[in-house]
Amino acid sequence: MSRVSQAEARANRERVVAAAARLFREDGVAKVGIADVMKSIGLTQGGFYKQFASKAALVDEATAKAFTDNLQDLLALDQEAGEHQAAWQSLLESYFSVEHRDNPGSGCPAAGFVGDVAREPEHRETYAKGVQELAEWIAPGEAGLATYATLVGGILLARATAGTPLSEQILRASHAAAARAADSTESSNG
């Protein structure tokens, strides 16, 4: 049996965390076992405990990675758009899309982990930090929190009603509400 170099071990760990972040958002922490995560990236379960103390440690790290990656994507969107308002409009279009609704594994971490964090409070600190950072990207203080809550609540309801006409109605209504909230925040700050 060949030994894995330190660089390969680090790369494997990153792959495990990324796969877990995706699978946990798709199916929930309770339904996804360590074997599922490892198999999804072509590794055996045996190497897991060399990298992580427990599944709970992986959940926490996967939650943090999902939020960090999402924030990095938003910051890149700011750079690409040239101004925050244009980035915000671009985010709204993609966030309230059927594609985002139907692909939770690559979607919003707040929506993807909400149920698990509610049942497993040991991950709340990591989750709360991620929520705060993403809300601050939207707008400072309570305005950002309220608008982010509109996004997360809207996508959760749209996912729960997928396959019914109500789902797309929720996407449209939530998009409009989030846009109005951002407009009112901008006009009161401007």
CATH number at residue 150: 1.10.357.10
Q: Report whether pLDDT(24) > 80.
A: yes
The answer to the question of residue 20 being in a domain is no
**3 state SS for 78-116:** HHHHCCHHHHHHHHHHHHCCHHHHHCHHHCCHHHHHHHH
Nearest to 189 by CA among 136, 140, 133: 140
Q: Which tens digit of pLDDT belongs to each residue from 168-185?
A: 999 999 999 999 987 766
pLDDT band (50, 70, 90) for residue 134: very high
Structure tokens at 3: 């030994």
The answer to the question of residue 5 being in a domain is no
The answer to the question of residue 76 being in a domain is yes
Q: Report whether pLDDT(1) > 70.
A: no
Mean pLDDT, rounded, for 2-26: 91
Q: Which tens digit of pLDDT belongs to each residue from 161-172?
A: 999 999 999 999
Q: How many domains does the chain have?
A: 1
Per-residue confidence (pLDDT) for residue 87, from 0 to 100: 94
Q: How far apart are CA 25 and CA 101, in angstroms?
A: 12
The answer to the question of residue 184 being in a domain is yes
Per-residue confidence (pLDDT) for residue 190, from 0 to 100: 46
Containing structural domain, residue 144: 55-189
The answer to the question of residue 95 being in a domain is yes
Which one is predicted more confidently, 166 or 3?
166
The answer to the question of residue 104 being in a domain is yes
Q: Report whether pLDDT(67) > 50.
A: yes
The answer to the question of residue 182 being in a domain is yes
Q: Report whether pLDDT(3) > 80.
A: no
Q: Which helix (H) or strand (E) element contains residue 158?
A: helix 141-160
Q: Half-sphere exposure of residue 145, counting CA atoms within 13 Å on the CB side?
A: 5
Query: Quick one: CA dihedral 24, 90, 153, 164, positive or negative?
Result: negative
Q: Which tens digit of pLDDT belongs to each residue from 91-127?
A: 999 999 999 999 999 999 999 999 999 998 899 999 9
Q: Which tens digit of pLDDT belongs to each residue from 40-55?
A: 999 988 889 888 999 9
Q: How far apart are CA 120 and CA 32, in angstroms?
A: 15
The answer to the question of residue 48 being in a domain is no
